[in-house]
Structure 1
Amino acid sequence: MTMMMMITITMMMLMALMLGAAAACIVVLVPLGMAGWHLSRNSVLLFSGAILITLSVCVHFTPYFSSVSDYVTSVSSVAVFHRPKSSCMNLIHRIHWEVKPNASLLSFNATQNLSSSFDFYEKHWDWSKTQRIKACRIHKLSKPEASHLINGSWVLIAGDSQARLFTLSLLNLILGSEPQRMDSVKTALFKRHSNYSISVDEIGMKLDFVWAPYVLNLTHLLTDFKTKKKYPDVMVMGAGLWHMLHVSNPSDYELVLQTLKSSLVSLFPFSTELGIKSPPHLFWLGFPMLINGMLNAHKKRVHMIDAMWHAYDRALSESRLLRQTGGPMILLDIQSLTWNCGAHCTYDGMHYDTAIYEAAVQIMLNSLLIKSRHRH
């Protein structure tokens, strides 16, 4: 609801209160005044009754005056049917999963071990079919829709292996109709601990993946942007699994996240001093659900226990980096996606099926769409 609308409604409420007060004064004071002129008790009661009846009739017939009725109706319609951006943003993780065995594949080999059985399950997902989801127009974007949305954009994705898988899913949506090109992308993108860049000239999009397994790497990356005074249009970041494994200190993780938040807030002011028309769209890749018994290394099983995972998740929340806690970054909730997809969607308890990251990409794109509609 706009500020002007709120002011108008407030003025109407004040006018109603004033009219009510005036009516009360008429009902109470006029009869008293008449009594002061020595009118009979019956006359006073008759006059008071007439006033009350007149006021009641006015109240009941007010809706039939078109000017008042139409205005009240228009105000109430805006209040009921206008959904602010935040209400739609709250719905983008309402995803339903269907994970079931692929009978045609299982019939060929019924003795597969747990890790290889990962490929023997079909994973399907979609948003819940509710009126609120439909009203917000949340849906799976096609290649043309996604290409149009990020046309001419510079997209930066930085972080650990989760960010790399997210990058692959985004490029697969944009370039999936070109298998040979995607084969080349996979070969280059999955070089161990390396960065990757690609320009999709057809839509004028530039994409950079930066290997940044620690939050400190992300903060240094922001410093580089500030030095060069050039900034991406969309930034997707996520790091913490390496910190959990090699540092195992949730308090320290919270501190480095707070430093990252401070860098983001200071780097992207709502001004044009640094040549920024508007701040980048900022997204944070959350932790996946970790299944300790499936982790493929002893050190992981020792350090990445449930208690540690939950402590790191709390540190992320308490750092106030995320929009939901007053920070600058929108959460891409990998935790809820992986939890709802389940153990059959991962082969090592940490890295998940492509369907997870495809869903995360679609959540990001729908977030951009919602923000775009709100802006216009």
Structure 2
Amino acid sequence: MMFGAIQLGLMAACVVLFVPMGMAGWHLSRNKMLFFSGALFITLAVGVHLTPYFPSISDFASTVSSIVVFDNRDSCVSLLHEVVWDVKPHSANNSLDYGKSWRWSGSRPVVACGFQKLAPSDASDLLNGSWVVLAGDSQARLIALALLDLVLDPERMESVKVDLFKRHSNYHIAVDEIGMKLDFIWAPYVTNITDLVISFKRNRNYPDVLMMGSGLWHMLHFTNASDYGAGLRLLRSSVVSLLPISPELGEEGPVTGSVSVRSPHLFWMGIPTLINSMLNTEEKREKMTDTLRVAYDTALRRSKLLRQSGGPLLLLDIQSLSWNCGVRCTEDGMHYDGAVYEVALHIILNALLIESHQKL
């Protein structure tokens, strides 16, 4: 507010100073110019003092200020995936061993957003007291691993890796040092995720951060983009009913509702880039084609589950992250190196900072 008042004062001063000078250029007499300057100054002074007594004017100013803030926030969220990779061999003699580093783009809009790789202490502060739930297939499990690898010490991580990667199982851990709980829920199909969301609503117990993602298993075992899209639309309805701050979403976006409890932060983990020739079974290479992946991506967009199509979930675009890292970042054409999921994690953390209006 103080910054806005300073801007208003500077603008008024410029008007008072330069308008009379401009009028003087039209050969007004000295007395007329002084009269005009004095009248203008008095009018502006009276207007500034009377503005608080006219609610419509004050409300308009507040609305404009809010629009500027939210536009900036939304534009930064849209730039979170502007990541640049540096993938190169560790040595000239070993072309199979690659180092992988990343950073956010150096473009002016991205730099202005101030994205940053969070240190373990900063991530711990951000997630202090939070309940984080990741529901999905192996992609969600790998993001859970990246998160725990950031906030836990190396010794504890050794036992975590063994338990977390027990095949097709759920996993729970409490990080008592920061009061954080993390649950990984094995949910390979959209219907599994929908059931989970319904259980949150039934129990009236909501996580602070909910990351969901599914599609790979459906591609392999059902190979039907239309059925996948129908499941996503049902999930959308369940998620919308879960939201305590906005009980309904219209066709074009959120509809304001009554506030009851804090709304969780919601993310959707997209399907990664699939490199067909590298997939490790003949069935996968036959069914999980580029054409089918595009059909599944189209079904996701049309489901209106994602924010960019008027839905409630922010897309974590694993496809673009894995594509930009490239062939050298995967051994099986489906699961990528830890660096890809590290980037995904820091995108999530920066999104949380933006949405909660926090700065480090």
Normalization by structure 1: what TM-score?
A: 0.75
- Spell out the pairing of 1:1-150 with structure 2 (5 A cutoff): 65=41, 68=44, 84-103=72-91, 106-107=93-94, 117=96, 120-150=97-127
Give the CA deviation at 1:277: 1.9
Give the CA deviation at 1:135: 2.5
Question: Quick one: which of 217, 220, 225 aligns to 1:250?
Answer: 225
CA displacement, residues 227-272 of structure 1 (integer Å, 9 cap, x when unaligned): 2211100000000000011101101111100000000001223179
Give the CA deviation at 1:224: 1.5
Match of residue 179 from structure 1:
154
1:225 aligns with 2:200: yes
Give the CA deviation at 1:65: 4.7
What letter matches 1:160 in structure 2? D
Match of residue 338 from structure 2:
354
Give the CA deviation at 1:66: 9.5
Gap change, CA 1:81 and 1:185, over 3 Å in 2: same
Match of residue 296 from structure 2:
312
Q: Secondary structure at the match of 1:263?
A: helix
Gap change, CA 1:326 and 1:275, over 3 Å in 2: closer
What letter matches 1:270 in structure 2? I
Q: 1:121 and 1:309 mapped to 2: Cα distance?
A: 27
Gap change, CA 1:235 and 1:66, over 3 Å in 2: farther
Q: Secondary structure at the match of 1:373?
A: coil
Match of residue 147 from structure 2:
170
Native 8 Å contact 1:85 1:374 kept in 2: no
Give the CA deviation at 1:129: 2.1
Native 8 Å contact 2:244 2:259 kept in 1: no
Q: 1:353 and 1:198 mapped to 2: Cα distance?
A: 23
Give the CA deviation at 1:341: 0.5
After TM superposition, the structure 1 stretch with the greater mean CA deviation from structure 2, 217-226 or 346-355, is 217-226
Native 8 Å contact 2:134 2:183 kept in 1: yes
Gap change, CA 1:81 and 1:229, over 3 Å in 2: closer
Q: 2:343 and 2:162 mapped to 1: Cα distance?
A: 23
Give the CA deviation at 1:333: 0.7
Gap change, CA 1:332 and 1:80, over 3 Å in 2: closer
1:205 aligns with 2:205: no
Runs of 4+ in 1 over 3 A off after TM superposition: 64-71, 77-83, 271-276
What letter matches 1:360 in structure 2? A
Native 8 Å contact 1:289 1:338 kept in 2: yes
Give the CA deviation at 1:100: 0.5
Q: 1:363 and 1:328 mapped to 2: Cα distance?
A: 17
CA displacement, residues 74-117 of structure 1 (integer Å, 9 cap, x when unaligned): x8x9699855210111111110001101117x44xx7xxxxxx3
Match of residue 41 from structure 1:
none
Q: Secondary structure at the match of 2:356?
A: helix
CA displacement, residues 280-306 of structure 1 (integer Å, 9 cap, x when unaligned): 000000110000000000010011111
Q: Secondary structure at the match of 1:321?
A: coil
Question: Quick one: which of 223, 228, 242 aligns to 1:267?
Answer: 242
Q: 1:80 and 1:298 mapped to 2: Cα distance?
A: 53
Native 8 Å contact 2:245 2:258 kept in 1: no
Native 8 Å contact 2:123 2:349 kept in 1: yes
Q: Secondary structure at the match of 1:102?
A: strand
Native 8 Å contact 2:245 2:259 kept in 1: no
Count of aligned pairs = 310
What letter matches 1:358 in structure 2? E
User: Unpaired runs of 5+ in structure 2?
Assistant: 9-25, 49-60, 248-256
Native 8 Å contact 2:240 2:246 kept in 1: no
Match of residue 272 from structure 2:
288
After TM superposition, the structure 1 stretch with the greater mean CA deviation from structure 2, 308-317 or 80-89, is 80-89
1:367 aligns with 2:351: yes
Give the CA deviation at 1:67: 7.7
Task: Work out the percentage of aligned pairs sharing the same amino acid.
Answer: 52
Match of residue 36 from structure 1:
none
Q: 1:246 and 1:65 mapped to 2: Cα distance?
A: 75
Native 8 Å contact 1:271 1:277 kept in 2: no
Gap change, CA 1:79 and 1:271, over 3 Å in 2: closer
CA displacement, residues 120-140 of structure 1 (integer Å, 9 cap, x when unaligned): 111110101233223222110
Q: Secondary structure at the match of 2:357?
A: helix
Q: 1:311 and 1:271 mapped to 2: Cα distance?
A: 30
User: Unpaired runs of 5+ in structure 1?
Assistant: 9-51, 111-116
